[in-house]
Amino acid sequence: MTALPPGAAVPPPELRGVLSTRESDLAAAASDFGNLVHLRPLAVLFPADAGDVAAIVRYGRANGLPVVPRGAGHAVDGQAQAPGGIVVDLTSVARVRAPDDRNLISVDAGATWQAVAEATLPRGLVPPVLPDHLGLTVGGTLAAGGFGGSSHRHGSVSDQVHELDVVTPGGELRTCSPTRDRDLFDAVRGTQGQYGIITRAALGLHPAGRTAIRHRIGCPDPGTLLAAQVRLAAGGRFDHILGSAVHVPGRGWQFVLEAVAVFTPPQAPPPQPGIRPSDGPAPETDVLPYADYLGRLAPFERQLRAAGSWQNHPHPRCNVLLPGRHAAGIIADTLAGLGPEDIGESGSVLIYPVPNRRLRAPRLPKARGTTSVLFGLQRTAPPDDPAALRRMHEGNARLLARALRVGGAAYSARTPYHDTRITGGTAGMAEPLGPPAHEPVSP
């Protein structure tokens, strides 16, 4: 269906895909994982190819309509919404090609990491960094930056990109890389769609084992957790290093380090000396197919979808990158003021350090100093409880303000670029000339 978006003076261009004004498509585009912001666009484009994306960007520009890319819609603050504009839903452009003989894989921006993993793992290959949740799109993740359990070793997902196809704010389709159109290449990674729409990426791959051995170790406090994570990362034996805080009734917040090594039987699992923090408890260990480890959040998603929480409950998440030397104190103080009800039944708390020297994409948010500690309050608010939601928002604002005061940064957060659009301004994409746009607004 190609319809004239109401309010647009000029008919839309010829497109190979679908420009929809169907109620269900507008409603879906006015929603995201956050369930906090709901702003209807005039139309949603399901492009057939990058040419459609370029044509609609030119059309939007000529008609004063903001054109906003959307991936899997995991943003929580309306970042992929376009009130009075056109949402480009890239999930209709999701081809994953076969890896080539240089171990590069070319994937369309709307492909999920699940699809990428399914194309590469059977060949014994995998992107060096994958997000923890494989349901995100490649384009949306590169636009945020993309952290995962192997970031301690390889940096962000957007550091693994060899080449991108990007539709510029002027509606031109360009190919960019570290050696070609470098400004554009640098501008679009980590800036959430502000400087262009990624339509394809060539990603580096490296050898993947078939089996994961996972150790989970309890730590008494965030300082011990972070020190153990840094020590294990320096040892270089683990492929994935993560951490979380879990609220245990009667004991308060407990900290769990997760360290994973990947191998291929009949090779034996790599030896893991020094995994246990001094006088800490013995680790819990399990062995599972690497594909299952990478897709470990999918069963939780299925459960939460079945319960309706995934798609219906508000998710006022807050992810900050804390400077290493302030991280333990801020995490301890923040959690001291929170009970399990402040994270929510299906929520979680993530903690893991990433060395800044691994983060090479210049506009990727990072904390000042040598280490960025990702601290994520992945909250779920009860539905229909405005007081609880307000408390969570206020807590997020306090955490963010404190993080910024000590040289931290917001991750994957709403920025002034999104804010102008969301609050009724017409800010569209910008040419990549301005300063990095990472100053977040208060939630």
Ligand X SMILES: Cc1cc2nc3c(=O)[nH]c(=O)nc-3n(C[C@H](O)[C@H](O)[C@H](O)COP(=O)(O)OP(=O)(O)OC[C@H]3O[C@@H](n4cnc5c(N)ncnc54)[C@H](O)[C@@H]3O)c2cc1C
81 binds ligand X (CB under 6 A): no
Tell me the sheet residues that pair with 243.
257
Minimum Å gap between C-beta 69 and ligand X is 4
Among 198, 343, 361, 400, indicate the residue that binds ligand X (CB under 6 A). 198
DSSP type of residue 127? -
Q: In terms of CB distance, is 143 or 205 closer to ligand X?
A: 143
According to DSSP H, which parts of 178-278 are helical? Answer: 182-188, 222-235
What is the distance between the alpha carbons of residues 132 and 146, in angstroms, rounded to a whole number?
A: 9
According to DSSP H, which parts of 130-181 are helical? Answer: 138-144, 151-154
Among 12, 71, 171, 222, indicate the residue that binds ligand X (CB under 6 A). 71
Q: In terms of CB distance, is 60 or 69 closer to ligand X?
A: 69
CB distance 297 to 133 below 8 Å:
yes
Minimum Å gap between C-beta 247 and ligand X is 19
Among 74, 189, 200, 421, indicate the residue that binds ligand X (CB under 6 A). 74
Residues 90-109 close enough to bind ligand X by CB under 6 A:
90, 109
Binding mask 412-431 for ligand X (x = CB under 6 A): x-------------------
Minimum Å gap between C-beta 82 and ligand X is 9
Nearest residue to 107 (alpha-carbon basis) of 16, 205, 199: 199
Cβ-count burial of 57 within 10 angstroms (0-12 exposed, 13-18 middle, 19+ buried)?
Answer: buried
What is the distance between the alpha carbons of residues 93 and 350, in angstroms, rounded to a whole number?
A: 31
Among 17, 140, 218, 344, indicate the residue that binds ligand X (CB under 6 A). 140
Q: In terms of CB distance, is 143 or 233 closer to ligand X?
A: 143
What is the distance between the alpha carbons of residues 79 and 263, in angstroms, rounded to a whole number?
A: 39
Residues 11-70 close enough to bind ligand X by CB under 6 A:
32-33, 68-70
215 binds ligand X (CB under 6 A): no
CB distance 318 to 400 below 8 Å:
yes
- Binding part of the chain for ligand X, among 126-134, 216-224, 246-254, 263-271 by CB under 6 A, reads 126-134
Exposure of 114 in the CB half-sphere (CA atoms within 13 A): 10
Binding mask 259-288 for ligand X (x = CB under 6 A): ------------------------------
According to DSSP H, which parts of 16-121 are helical? Answer: 23-29, 50-63, 113-120
According to DSSP H, which parts of 202-267 are helical? Answer: 222-235
How many chain residues bind ligand X (CB under 6 A)? 32
According to DSSP H, which parts of 172-289 are helical? Answer: 182-188, 222-235
Minimum Å gap between C-beta 410 and ligand X is 12
Q: In terms of CB distance, is 149 or 277 closer to ligand X?
A: 149
DSSP type of residue 358? G
Instruction: Tokens 């308060």: give the residue.
Output: 252
Minimum Å gap between C-beta 383 and ligand X is 17
- Classify 59 as helix, strand or coil: helix
Minimum Å gap between C-beta 131 and ligand X is 3
CB distance 430 to 169 below 8 Å:
yes
DSSP type of residue 236? T
Q: In terms of CB distance, is 85 or 395 closer to ligand X?
A: 85
**Token digits for 311?**
């798609």
Q: In terms of CB distance, is 132 or 221 closer to ligand X?
A: 132
- Binding part of the chain for ligand X, among 143-151, 209-217, 240-248, 383-391 by CB under 6 A, reads 143-151
Among 118, 132, 163, 439, indicate the residue that binds ligand X (CB under 6 A). 132
Minimum Å gap between C-beta 237 and ligand X is 22
Nearest residue to 327 (alpha-carbon basis) of 221, 249, 247: 221
Q: CA distances (Å), 293 to each of 187, 250, 319, in order?
A: 32, 30, 23
Among 20, 31, 35, 137, indicate the residue that binds ligand X (CB under 6 A). 137
What is the distance between the alpha carbons of residues 333 and 423, in angstroms, rounded to a whole number?
A: 33
Binding mask 377-406 for ligand X (x = CB under 6 A): ------------------------------
How many C-beta atoms surround the C-beta of residue 302 within 10 A? Answer: 11
320 binds ligand X (CB under 6 A): no
Among 193, 277, 344, 395, indicate the residue that binds ligand X (CB under 6 A). 193
What is the distance between the alpha carbons of residues 118 and 114, in angstroms, rounded to a whole number?
A: 6
What is the distance between the alpha carbons of residues 273 and 283, in angstroms, rounded to a whole number?
A: 12
Q: In terms of CB distance, is 275 or 441 closer to ligand X?
A: 441
243 binds ligand X (CB under 6 A): no
Among 8, 197, 294, 322, indicate the residue that binds ligand X (CB under 6 A). 197
Q: Which residues bind ligand X (CB under 6 A)?
A: 32-33, 68-75, 79-80, 90, 109, 131-133, 136-137, 139-141, 143-144, 146-148, 192-193, 197-198, 412
